[in-house]
Amino acid sequence: MERILRGIMRYRVLDRATMVKQFEQVQDHPVPKAVFYTCMDSRMIPTRFTETSVGDMFVVRNAGNVVPHSQYFSDEMTSCEPAAMELGCVINDVRHIIVCGHSDCKAMNLLYKLKSPQESNIEQRRISPLKSWLCNHAKTSLDKFLAMNGDFKKPMIFTAETEQRKFVAYIDPEDKFCIEDKLSQVNTLQQLQNVASYGMLKKRLQKHDLHIHALWFDIYTGDIYYFSRRAKTFVIIDESTYENILSEVRRYYS
């Protein structure tokens, strides 16, 4: 707490005046460009690695960057994740939803262990809110991952904006990452399918007026990957790939 208080005092001296000016600029007409879902991991700071500022994005963070599928909610029960979609995409007309996973994700490491019935039984879920959250809302990712039987040279199929619009994905084709990181990438792509399950977004998705994207952050190197439907895999965003990725975004998502 002492460190946080010292940080607040530094903010008052170094950043407060600049930030207040930014607040004033967007106070009456903020124009956020994206709804950004990522993990609550303390190492994930999305506004820093995207160089975004005040008013640019709605950011939602939880354990495992999970967007629960709409089938889990009745009219009387919901959660922050779909509420953020309504606030961003229905009320504020945001056109882009981004899900960002990352390496060494503690939630994904635990999800991988939950393949064991002893780890995921009802008694375990009753005493562990985290296990319950993952069993309820990330099991589809785990099941899809386990169905590959460790052979990630095979393609995976995900539903995109509509049931008819699917995309193929090859997970870590260069075999650079550990098994839990492969699961993290599968889970990140599964969330795009979950996002598209919400009826409130259906018309905009069908008209290509709303677009869903996946990013993946490697905390060991600081590299960020974009899932390219053209390349059918996560592609590092760097000086050699930027123009191709930007071209794809403009072609498919403008």
pLDDT above 80 for 39 = yes
pLDDT at 76: 58
Quote the radius of gyration of the chain (alpha carbons, Å).
19
pLDDT at 228: 97
pLDDT in tens, 57-101: 999 999 999 999 998 876 656 789 999 999 999 999 999 999 999
Q: Please state, in angstroms and rounded to a whole number, the distance separating the CA atoms of residues 191 and 16.
A: 36
Q: Where are the domains of the chain?
A: 1-25, 31-253
Q: Please state, in angstroms and rounded to a whole number, the distance separating the CA atoms of residues 226 and 212.
A: 12
In this prediction the pTM is 0.92
pLDDT above 90 for 144 = yes
Tokens 């600049």 found at: 18
Ranges of H-type helices in the chain: 2-14, 16-26, 46-49, 80-85, 106-113, 117-120, 122-127, 129-137, 139-146, 179-195, 202-206, 242-253
Confidence of residue 156 (pLDDT cuts 50, 70, 90): very high
Q: Please state, in angstroms and rounded to a whole number, the distance separating the CA atoms of residues 129 and 96.
A: 30
- Count CB neighbours of 247 within 10 A: 11
pLDDT at 94: 95
Confidence of residue 154 (pLDDT cuts 50, 70, 90): very high
Confidence of residue 23 (pLDDT cuts 50, 70, 90): confident
Is 108:145 a contact under the CB 8 Å cutoff?
no
Q: Please state, in angstroms and rounded to a whole number, the distance separating the CA atoms of residues 216 and 145.
A: 17
Find all residues with CB under 8 Å of 166, minimum gap 6, and list them: 157, 158, 159, 160
- Spell out the CATH class of 31-253: alpha beta
pLDDT in tens, 181-236: 999 999 999 999 999 999 999 999 999 999 999 999 999 999 999 999 999 999 99
pLDDT at 252: 76
Integer CA distances (angstroms), 222 to 37, 48, 49, 184, 192, in order: 18, 11, 9, 16, 23
